[in-house]
């Protein structure tokens, strides 16, 4: 047993040595392989990191969101519906919200406007502010703005600004707080204001809102309560926080899959290159195999030698590609692939993503890159190893 | 969900497995048709060098297939984050009717690959390659299995829709009306637990003592050991690992929260079962005089492997229940 291991180690030693001697020849394969792995890994890490960022941010989402549908489209909900929900046990809090979009004609941007009945009392929202405070319930014309909104309105240090109602009369607003950059996936284009102000801005009726935000005391009961709400308010759409989270993950997962599918072409090209490169062994290579065979090496020993060489190349390229991808995500915020994941609208969120890496992602990347490469080098390795010593030496 | 990166990774791995096996099968067909040990024709010389290619391809194939099995379980676990209602890999596997089939097919094919390599190793001990035709026929029989595996896997991935509500493991393992291959409908009873561990003890004893029908006994025992061991881990061991009596799931023990304890458990169970079945397989070649020298060596190795891995499995699987009995709950 011991001598068998020693034999393998000797073959490995010889393989690494001959790989080092032929480094010029293997450099091209190594570099291209690293580049392919870098691209694949960047996509995978970016997707995992964005999923993590979304998960982190969505902790602020209420347990259940209720909207009213009419003919399949969302319509305003009446505040009277709150009374119907009061009868359901297990609901700890109901908040009213107006959620809409404000189109800024001067620069073509769409801002997300949220009017909330009591933003200041929400402990979860507190952590999202970088400076200032939320408007209290009895205050009017006070707003909290996201990063991108401030830049687009060119506010700089000014706190007062105006927006247009649908009839083109103006409503004056004062900035009292700013959202932090790390929450930009959700808040970059956001204006948060009191319920009355939002109603005023969109010219909605007195008792109209767009959604109800419901907190549930016991998280295990969320799905049961969601079902009861759906029964109490006919035609309503009831969404749980978990569903939203899964949807975000699904979106990022599909985008990373799309990226991987696009990169498959480069992977295929690389595998063909590796196959071709391994197939084209020179006169010296043949002589080397001939001499080894004359020294008593068997076909299987030479195949093992070639296997160790491929494995060493793949391992180094894999390490380099993964490290570069990690640097790309960690220090450059995944700059190459941001537009694909985050969109390219006028208000592009300048988001700080939480770098996140999992062992399973490494395993997946291994399946994507190293396995096809190893498979592509078996047949050339065999072709090289069946050389008859008397024909070359 | 064929478009997600996990699905693409699984498909690539399966394609690679299929590629190496089909290339080996190409050699296999020619060996079955034209192999003639006594001839020295160019074809025979070519075939003699080509069997090294096919055996290397099959060794790669085993590794890739093992990898594909691991990838499938981890992929199912990550699908649980997308499929509404699924909490872990169980929910993902039950999301459509192909999930469990793919898993079982992959498990079975890993066994068959292993047997092929065992036969190959035995074959090359003799310079006359007495099993060359047999092992190549076996190789050809593996191809339909792999094609089915690949087809079911594609159907499974294609049939996953992120909007289907699937049952999670908590529900699956509580309700007796949900079938998971009839494995987990009920908790292990004291009788079945005692029966299982007594059986393991007897197998260990049989592995240790070499009496007349011990090989046959080991082979039959090992065939039963694998499904029984999986069932025991799911219904008896896993609740102690999770410290939750109602949580019976074979996949969550693979998570970091439980120190990846599932991997050594399943790997030792697999290796013990494989060694036991391998001993039975060796019995089939007792009549080959060319292998008379190699067979006892293989036999001895497999026996000691069987003993060590089964002992490891029994000790590890009893560790959590015993810890609970001695130290109490968490």
CB A137 within 8 A of CB A194: yes
Cα distances (angstroms) measured from residue A62 to each of A96, A242, A372, B198, B236:
11, 10, 45, 53, 38
The pTM assigned to this predicted structure is 0.80
The answer to whether residues B207 and B245 belong to one domain is yes
H/E element holding A174?
strand A170-179
Residue A389 touches partner B, C-beta closer than 8 Å: no
Residue B53 touches partner A, C-beta closer than 8 Å: yes
Position B173 scores a pLDDT of 40
3-state SS string over A110-128? EEEEEEECCHHHCHHHHCC
Yes or no, beta carbons of A382 and B20 under 8 Å apart:
no
Position A35 scores a pLDDT of 93
The count of other CB atoms within 10 Å of the CB of residue B235 is 21
Position A105 scores a pLDDT of 83
The answer to whether residues B182 and B251 belong to one domain is yes
Residue A377 touches partner B, C-beta closer than 8 Å: no
The answer to whether residues B133 and B15 belong to one domain is yes
Higher pLDDT, A311 or A107: A311
Please choose, from the candidates A349, A356, A348, the residue with its C-alpha nearest in 3D space to the C-alpha of residue A329: A356
Higher pLDDT, A335 or B320: B320
The answer to whether residues B199 and B156 belong to one domain is no
Yes or no, beta carbons of B9 and A367 under 8 Å apart:
yes
Delimit the domains of chain A by residue range: 9-57+247-392, 91-216
A232 band by pLDDT with thresholds 50, 70 and 90: confident
B13, B60, B67 member nearest A378 (Cβ): B60
CB A50 within 8 A of CB A215: no
Q: Which tens digit of pLDDT belongs to each residue from A64-114?
A: 888 888 887 888 888 888 888 888 888 888 888 888 899 888 888 888 898
The answer to whether residues B162 and B179 belong to one domain is no
Which chain B residues touch A51 with a CB distance below 8 Å? 81
A250, A379, A381 member nearest B162 (Cβ): A250
Residue A43 touches partner B, C-beta closer than 8 Å: yes
The answer to whether residues B189 and B313 belong to one domain is yes
- Rounded to 5 degrees, φ, ψ at A114 are -125, 125
Strand A211-216 vs strand A91-104: parallel, antiparallel, or unpaired?
A: antiparallel
A332–chain B nearest CA distance, Å: 23
Rounded mean pLDDT, A326-342: 81
- Residue-number span of the structural domain to which B287 is assigned: 174-330
Position B186 scores a pLDDT of 63
Strand A109-116 vs strand A190-194: parallel, antiparallel, or unpaired?
A: parallel
A259, A371, A385 member nearest B16 (Cβ): A371
Position A120 scores a pLDDT of 61
**Highest mean pLDDT (candidates A5-9, A187-191, A271-275, B109-113):** B109-113
B30–chain A nearest CA distance, Å: 17
The answer to whether residues B185 and B133 belong to one domain is no
Helices and strands in chain B: count of H runs, count of E runs: 11, 0
B71: its two tokens: 């990838």
Q: Is the dihedral of CA A384, A386, A391, A392 positive or negative?
A: positive
Position B180 scores a pLDDT of 44
At a CB cut-off of 8 Å and minimum separation 6, what does B319 contact? none
CA distance A237 to A233: 9
Which chain A residues touch B20 with a CB distance below 8 Å? 375, 378
Task: Residue window 219-248, chain A: list those with CB within 8 Å of chain B.
Answer: 242-243, 246-247
Yes or no, beta carbons of A257 and B8 under 8 Å apart:
yes
B64: its two tokens: 């890739």
**Highest mean pLDDT (candidates A33-42, A77-86, A116-125, A137-146):** A33-42
Yes or no, beta carbons of B4 and A257 under 8 Å apart:
yes
| Domain total in chain B | 2
Q: Is the dihedral of CA B241, B246, B248, B251 positive or negative?
A: negative
CB B20 within 8 A of CB B64: yes
Yes or no, beta carbons of A243 and B9 under 8 Å apart:
no
pLDDT tens digits in sequence order for chain B, 330 residues long:
788 888 999 999 999 999 999 999 999 999 999 988 888 888 888 888 888 889 889 989 989 999 999 999 999 988 887 776 677 888 888 888 899 999 999 999 999 999 999 999 999 888 888 899 999 999 999 999 999 999 999 999 998 887 655 554 443 343 333 344 434 556 778 889 999 999 999 999 988 887 778 888 889 999 999 999 999 998 889 889 988 877 888 888 988 889 899 999 999 999 999 999 999 999 888 888 888 888 999 999 999 999 999 999 999 999 999 999 888 766
At a CB cut-off of 8 Å and minimum separation 6, what does B236 contact? B187, B188, B193, B321
Position B68 scores a pLDDT of 93
To which residue do tokens 């490891």 refer?
B312
Which chain A residues touch B10 with a CB distance below 8 Å? 367
CB A197 within 8 A of CB A139: no
At a CB cut-off of 8 Å and minimum separation 6, what does A247 contact? B162
B58–chain A nearest CA distance, Å: 11
ipTM associated with this complex: 0.84
CA distance B69 to B106: 6
Which chain A residues touch B77 with a CB distance below 8 Å? 360
Task: Residue window 154-193, chain B: list those with CB within 8 Å of chain A.
Answer: 162
B287–chain A nearest CA distance, Å: 27
B10, B52, B82 member nearest A249 (Cβ): B82
CB A208 within 8 A of CB A67: no
Rounded mean pLDDT, A325-342: 82
CB B121 within 8 A of CB B282: no
Domain boundary among B137, B167, B197: B167
A249, A307, A374 member nearest B81 (Cβ): A249
CB B144 within 8 A of CB B181: no
CA distance A142 to A159: 10
User: With 50 as the cut, is the pLDDT of residue A263 above it?
Assistant: yes
A269–chain B nearest CA distance, Å: 14
Position B177 scores a pLDDT of 37
At a CB cut-off of 8 Å and minimum separation 6, what does A20 contact? none
CA distance A146 to A378: 56
Helices and strands in chain A: count of H runs, count of E runs: 14, 13
Q: Which tens digit of pLDDT belongs to each residue from A166-177?
A: 998 988 989 888
Strand intervals (E) in chain B: none
A193–chain B nearest CA distance, Å: 33
CA distance B310 to B204: 7
Burial class (CB in 10 A: 0-12, 13-18, 19+), B20: buried
Chain B's closest residue to A299, CA to CA, is B52
Chain B's closest residue to A246, CA to CA, is B82
The answer to whether residues B206 and B105 belong to one domain is no
B190–chain A nearest CA distance, Å: 32
Which chain B residues touch A360 with a CB distance below 8 Å? 74, 77-78
The answer to whether residues B312 and B179 belong to one domain is yes
CB A200 within 8 A of CB A145: no
Yes or no, beta carbons of A360 and B74 under 8 Å apart:
yes
A350 band by pLDDT with thresholds 50, 70 and 90: low
CB A49 within 8 A of CB A361: no
A249, A254, A307 member nearest B3 (Cβ): A254
Domain boundary among B139, B167, B195: B167
Please choose, from the candidates A198, A242, A246, the residue with its C-alpha nearest in 3D space to the C-alpha of residue A216: A242
The answer to whether residues B221 and B282 belong to one domain is yes
CA distance A215 to A239: 12
Domain boundary among B118, B138, B167: B167
Query: From the candidates A47, A378, A380, A387, which should be mutated to test the interface with B, based on the most B CB atoms within 10 A?
Result: A378
Yes or no, beta carbons of A379 and B53 under 8 Å apart:
yes
The answer to whether residues B145 and B210 belong to one domain is no
The answer to whether residues B180 and B157 belong to one domain is no
Classify A340 as helix, strand or coil: helix
- Average pLDDT for chain A: 83
At a CB cut-off of 8 Å and minimum separation 6, what does A10 contact? none
Which chain B residues touch A299 with a CB distance below 8 Å? 49, 52
For A354: left if phi > 0, alpha if psi spans -120 to 50, otherwise beta; the answer is beta
């Amino acid at each position: 047993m011991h001598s068998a291991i020693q034999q393998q180690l000797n073959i490995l030693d010889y393989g690494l040595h001959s790989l080092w001697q032929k480094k010029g020849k293997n450099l091209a394969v190594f570099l291209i392989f690293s580049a392919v792995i870098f691209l694949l890994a960047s996509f995978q890490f970016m997707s995992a990191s964005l999923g993590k960022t979304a998960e982190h941010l969505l902790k602020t989402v209420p347990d259940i969101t209720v909207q009213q549908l009419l003919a399949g489209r969302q319509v305003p909900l009446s505040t009277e519906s709150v009374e119907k929900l009061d009868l359901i046990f297990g609901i700890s809090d109901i908040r009213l919200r107006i959620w809409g979009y404000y189109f800024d004609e001067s620069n073509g941007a769409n801002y997300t406007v949220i009017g909330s009945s009591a933003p200041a009392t929400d402990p979860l929202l507190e952590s999202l502010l970088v400076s200032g405070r939320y408007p209290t319930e009895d205050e009017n014309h006070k707003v909290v703005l996201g990063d991108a909104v401030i830049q687009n309105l060119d506010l700089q240090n000014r706190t007062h600004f105006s927006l247009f109602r649908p009839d083109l009369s103006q409503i004056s607003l004062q900035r009292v707080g700013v959202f932090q950059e790390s929450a930009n996936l959700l808040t970059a284009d956001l204006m948060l204001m009191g319920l009355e102000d939002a109603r005023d801005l969109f010219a909605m009726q007195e008792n109209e809102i767009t959604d109800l935000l419901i907190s549930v005391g016991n998280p295990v009961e969320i799905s049961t309560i969601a079902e009861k709400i759906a029964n109490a308010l006919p035609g309503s759409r009831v969404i749980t926080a978990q569903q939203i989270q899964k949807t975000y993950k699904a979106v990022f997962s599909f985008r990373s899959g799309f990226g991987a599918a696009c990169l498959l072409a480069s992977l295929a090209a690389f595998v063909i290159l590796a196959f071709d490169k391994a197939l084209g062994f020179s006169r010296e290579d043949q002589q080397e195999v001939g001499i080894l065979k004359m020294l008593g090496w068997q076909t299987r020993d030479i195949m093992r030698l070639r296997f160790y060489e491929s494995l060493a190349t793949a391992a180094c390229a894999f390490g380099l590609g993964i490290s570069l991808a990690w640097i790309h995500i960690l220090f450059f915020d995944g700059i190459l692939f941001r537009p694909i994941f985050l969109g390219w609208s006028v208000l592009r969120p300048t988001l700080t993503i939480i770098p996140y890496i999992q062992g399973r992602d490494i395993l997946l990347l291994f399946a994507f890159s190293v396995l096809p490469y190893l498979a592509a080098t078996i047949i050339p390795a065999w072709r090289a190893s069946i050389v008859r010593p008397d024909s070359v030496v | 969900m064929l478009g997600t990166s996990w699905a693409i990774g699984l498909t690539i791995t399966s394609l690679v497995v299929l590629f190496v096996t089909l290339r080996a099968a190409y050699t296999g067909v020619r060996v079955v048709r034209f192999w003639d040990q006594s001839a020295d024709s160019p074809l025979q010389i070519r075939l003699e060098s080509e069997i090294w290619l096919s055996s290397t391809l099959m060794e790669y194939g085993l590794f890739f297939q093992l990898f594909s099995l691991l990838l499938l379980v981890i992929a199912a676990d990550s699908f649980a984050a997308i499929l509404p209602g699924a909490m872990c890999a169980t929910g993902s596997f039950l999301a459509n009717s192909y999930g469990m089939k793919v898993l079982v097919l992959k498990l079975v094919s890993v066994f068959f690959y292993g047997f092929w390599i065992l036969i190959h190793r035995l074959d090359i001990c003799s310079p006359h390659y007495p099993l060359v035709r047999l092992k190549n026929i076996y190789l050809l029989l593996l191809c339909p299995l792999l094609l089915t595996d690949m087809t079911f896997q594609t159907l499974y991935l294609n049939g996953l829709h992120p909007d289907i509500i699937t049952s999670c493991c908590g529900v699956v393992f509580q309700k007796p009306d949900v079938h998971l291959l009839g494995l987990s409908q009920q908790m292990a009873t004291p009788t079945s637990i005692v029966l299982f561990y007594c059986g393991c003890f007897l197998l260990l004893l049989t592995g240790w003592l070499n009496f007349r029908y011990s090989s046959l006994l080991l082979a039959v025992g090992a065939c039963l050991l694998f499904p029984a061991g999986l069932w025991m881990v799911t219904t008896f061991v896993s609740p102690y690992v999770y410290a939750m009596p109602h949580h019976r799931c074979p996949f969550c023990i693979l998570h970091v929260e439980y120190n990846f304890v599932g991997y050594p458990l399943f790997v030792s169970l697999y290796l013990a079962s494989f060694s036991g079945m391998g001993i039975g397989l060796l019995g089939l070649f007792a009549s080959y005089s060319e292998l008379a020298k190699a067979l006892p060596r293989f036999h001895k190795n497999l026996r000691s492997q069987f003993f060590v891995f089964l002992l490891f499995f029994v000790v590890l699987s009893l560790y959590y229940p015993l810890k609970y009995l001695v130290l109490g709950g968490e």
